[in-house]
């Protein structure tokens, strides 16, 4: 055996998901970018079918421009198209398109975003539009006051990446619908600039995705309040009324309310889970960019803690109320079921007592009837015996007095009839058992 053969690793059968999990840590990598640069970022809400259609449309788009299209099943793709670069990403419930353009004007956000957005005209919209961001990465030589670019009422500005850049935004859409982000570069390397740009775009994207839970919560809140009111009414009726029929009606009401609440929760739980996950991602990205105060303006994190946190608390409040309401409904339903069971047991007990009483009366009646039957059968049997005795005497076969002989026969006939009826009754009882 040669040394190469001895040291060669044996062939291993890989796990079917090994390639996928190995590649996951390299998914959506940061790409180096140079300063100055203009970036337009779009995000669309998409389901599984729409994501597949978006991939197909991107393949057609690239083929039509002589560019290499994305491979089958890829979730992220980057391609150069003339003077611009397009980065496409497919996520669980949204799809993004990020365009990188060489900066043309010296002033911030020059030219206007509407003139650059025409690049999306060749790509069909894959789903409902959610995010539009216009990010301008420029050198720090620009001294235009931030108040002249953004709304000072909601302006945020912070030093980021260890003081390597200053970021500013007001989170308000411009006339073309883009949220503008200005990033002034104080000496970032292309890799650091690329990572910072992507994190800022993700903050805005995940912020809006997290806030999708708020309208859902506001829509569900009146229904939850209605169920809470109805549960209180049912609880009040439980203390003021009783009876099996009433309890059955109240139990039907509680069961219907619980089913309604569960149906709401089934559709709501995905959204609340997604909202929580996106909020966590926003906080992680804020930590990653390393914000520091700048010129007295609030940082992005401070701004979002005041404006976004109340919305997240509303969503969490609704989830808590739903969970507590479900527990109340279950407790009330269990209490009613217990009351119904107790009432049914009482009815069964009364029914058994009544049946026992009827059985006792039937037994007494049976005993009375049996006694009368013994007397009647004895009477008829003795009558027949009297005819026999009289006939025997008239024929000279016996010489005893007929009346005396009949009287002597009566006790024996009575005892015999009683024994026969008792045996018949005992046999019938055995057959029933």
Q: 3-state DSSP call for residue 111? A: coil
Assess contact for 298 and 201: CB atoms under 8 A. no
Spatial CA neighbour of 289 closest among 301, 279, 280, 277: 301
What does the pLDDT profile of the chain (433 residues) look like in tens digits? 455 555 665 678 877 776 666 655 556 677 899 989 999 999 999 999 999 999 999 999 999 989 999 998 888 899 998 889 999 999 989 999 999 998 776 788 888 888 888 888 889 999 999 999 999 999 887 778 888 899 999 999 999 999 999 999 999 999 999 999 999 999 899 999 999 999 999 999 999 999 998 888 888 888 888 888 887 777 777 777 776 777 777 777 878 877 777 777 777 788 888 899 999 999 999 999 999 998 889 999 999 988 888 888 888 888 888 888 788 778 777 777 777 777 777 777 877 888 888 878 877 777 677 677 777 777 777 777 777 777 777 776 777 776 777 777 778 777 787 777 777 766 665 565 5
Rg (Cα) of the chain, in Å, rounded? Answer: 46
DSSP secondary structure code for residue 160 in this structure: E
Q: Residue with structure tokens 């016996």?
A: 398
Handedness of CA 131, 132, 138, 143 (dihedral sign): negative
pTM above threshold 0.75: no
What residue spans define the domains of the chain? 29-205, 213-350, 362-432
- φ/ψ of residue 427, rounded to 5: -65, -40
Q: 3-state DSSP call for residue 53? A: helix
Crossing angle of the two packed helices 213-240 and 244-289, in degrees rounded to 10 = 150
Token representation of residue 290: 């390393």
């Amino acid at each position: 055996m040669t040394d190469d053969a001895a040291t060669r690793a044996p062939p291993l059968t890989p796990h079917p998901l090994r390639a996928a999990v190995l590649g996951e840590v390299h998914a959506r990598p940061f790409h180096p970018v140079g300063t100055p640069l203009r970036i337009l970022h779009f995000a669309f809400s998409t389901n599984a079918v729409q994501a597949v259609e978006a991939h197909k449309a991107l393949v057609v788009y690239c083929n039509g421009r002589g560019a290499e299209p994305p491979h089958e099943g890829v979730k992220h793709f980057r391609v150069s198209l003339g003077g611009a670069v397009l980065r496409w990403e497919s996520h669980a419930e949204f799809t993004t398109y990020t365009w990188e353009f060489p900066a043309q004007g010296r002033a911030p956000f020059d030219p206007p975003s509407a003139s650059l957005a025409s690049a999306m005209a060749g790509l069909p919209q894959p789903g409902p539009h959610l995010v539009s961001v216009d990010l301008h990465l420029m050198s720090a030589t620009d001294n235009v006051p931030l108040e002249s670019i953004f709304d000072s009422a909601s302006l945020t500005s912070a030093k980021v990446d260890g003081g390597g850049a200053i970021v500013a935004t007001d989170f308000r859409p411009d006339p073309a619908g883009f949220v503008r982000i200005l990033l002034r570069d104080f000496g970032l390397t292309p890799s650091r600039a690329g990572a910072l740009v992507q994190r800022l775009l993700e903050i805005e994207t995940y912020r809006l995705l997290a806030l999708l839970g708020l309208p859902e919560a506001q829509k569900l809140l009146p229904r939850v309040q209605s169920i809470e009111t109805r549960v209180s009414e049912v609880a009040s009726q439980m203390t003021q009324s009783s009876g099996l029929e009433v309890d059955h009606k109240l139990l039907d009401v509680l069961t219907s309310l619980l089913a309604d609440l569960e149906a709401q929760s089934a559709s709501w739980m995905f959204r609340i889970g997604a909202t929580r996950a996106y909020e966590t991602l926003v906080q992680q990205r804020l930590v990653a960019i390393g914000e520091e105060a700048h010129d007295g303006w609030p940082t992005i994190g401070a701004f979002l803690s005041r404006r976004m946190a109340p919305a997240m608390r509303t969503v969490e409040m609704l989830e808590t109320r739903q969970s507590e309401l479900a527990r109340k409904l279950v407790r009330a339903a269990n209490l009613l079921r217990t009351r119904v069971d107790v009432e049914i047991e009482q009815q069964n007990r009364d029914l058994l007592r009544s049946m026992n009483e009827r059985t006792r009366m039937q037994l007494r009646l049976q005993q009375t009837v049996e006694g009368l039957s013994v007397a009647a059968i004895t009477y008829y049997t003795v009558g027949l015996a009297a005819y026999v005795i009289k006939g025997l005497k008239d024929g000279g076969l016996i010489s005893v007095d007929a009346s005396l002989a009949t009287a002597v026969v009566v006790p024996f006939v009575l005892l015999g009839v009683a024994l026969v009826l008792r045996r018949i009754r005992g046999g019938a009882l055995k057959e029933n058992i």
